[in-house]
Amino acid sequence: MITMLPVYVIGFIVSLALALVLTPLVKKFAIRIGAVDVPDARKVHTRIMPRLGGLGIYLAFVIGLIAVLPFIPDSLSARDANFMKAFLIGGSMIVLIGALDDRFQLSAKVKFLAQIAAACVVVFGFNITVDFVNIPFQDAYSSLETWIAVPLTIFWIVGVTNAINLIDGLDGLAAGVSGIAIGTILVMSLLMGYTMVAMLCLLLLGGIIGFLFFNFHPAKIFMGDAGSLFLGFSLAMLSLLGFKQIAIVSFITPLIIIGVPLSDTFFAIVRRKLQNKPIFAPDKGHLHHCLRELGFSHRQTVLLIYAIAAFFGVLAVIQSSAALYEANWVTFVVICFMMFFMQIGAEVIGLVSKTKRPLLSLISRMRVRSNADSGSK
């Protein structure tokens, strides 16, 4: 692994440079073909913006991968090569449907079916599934039957792919959060000595960072669905390896890695159910909308969410490191701390409801009771 690091660093630099060069070209192309984002009541930006920026990330990643592969011809196992083919073919399908949506505004049903098709290619075409999970607090691994593993894998890929798309609401937000999650997977892959994952993560990070030069507030181009769906698919595929890496991580680790988009998606579903709205109905109740309503500026909101994503990343590394030494009590502590943090945070900023705050109300009642007991004494 150590001997190959210079090659991977070169791949990162190549991908970064390509993103810096290709993104302005993609911007001109998007404007020429009419792939633009028109502002409306739900969106933050106030002027027409070119989309398709994710195409620059994708091209930087693919060309960077092609540039690196000749230097590591014998280092990939058959399993790794199979995974990489699935990643590229499924990712290309996702980018294509995202790019078409950036230009023609496809219906949600068409996009959803295309995502399922890409997931099915991964599962049935390359036989990549969640084969087993390590249940916390048990030493043995639990093998999954095919009838469970196949739908679970498809659900995971489609779900994570859409989760990134849902948080793509501010300049640099989806790209930065995805980059932090991918950086977390990079750290874990280096600790595990997982060569192929480290390479893919570095190439993706190069493309993301290069793109952020043009996407951070004030953005000159949006990544569009081509970018958010591709990054979501990439995270789904890379985090899947958390399930497949024997004796290293439990099933909870991938959930922590992408905690920001998944929690925002979960609270959005709960919020819309409470409001009797369709689950896929757009609204202005996402994490970034709530933080803006609290008075944070555009950049402050993005940087604050970056910090939350980094917090989840640190928890994931701690939890996976503890799993390596079978310290299951750490997993329990991490889960409890994460859930408490998420619930308190959601209630404070009004992520689910502006009035229903059960945990804060419980804490308030306990405090009043405690003060009353102290006064009676």
Three-state helix/strand/coil letters over the chain: CHHHHHHHHHHHHHHHHHHHHHHHHHHHHHHHHCCEECCCCCCCCCCCEECCHHHHHHHHHHHHHHHHHHHCCCCCCHHHHHHHHHHHHHHHHHHHHHHHHHHHCCCHHHHHHHHHHHHHHHHHHHCCCCCEEECCCCCCEEECCHHHHHHHHHHHHHHHHHHHHHCCCCCCHHHHHHHHHHHHHHHHHHHHCCHHHHHHHHHHHHHHHHHHHHHCCCCCCCCHHHHHHHHHHHHHHHHHHHHHCCCCCCCHHHHHHCHHHHHHHHHHHHHHHHCCCCCCCCCCCCHHHHHHHCCCCHHHHHHHHHHHHHHHHHHHHHHHHHHHCCCHHHHHHHHHHHHHHHHHHHHHHCCCCCCCCHHHHHHHHHHHHHHHHHHHC
* 134 annotated to bind ligand: no
Q: Is 131 annotated as a binding residue?
A: no
Q: Which residues are annotated as a binding site?
A: 165, 225
Q: Which residues are annotated as a binding site for Mg(2+)?
A: 165, 225
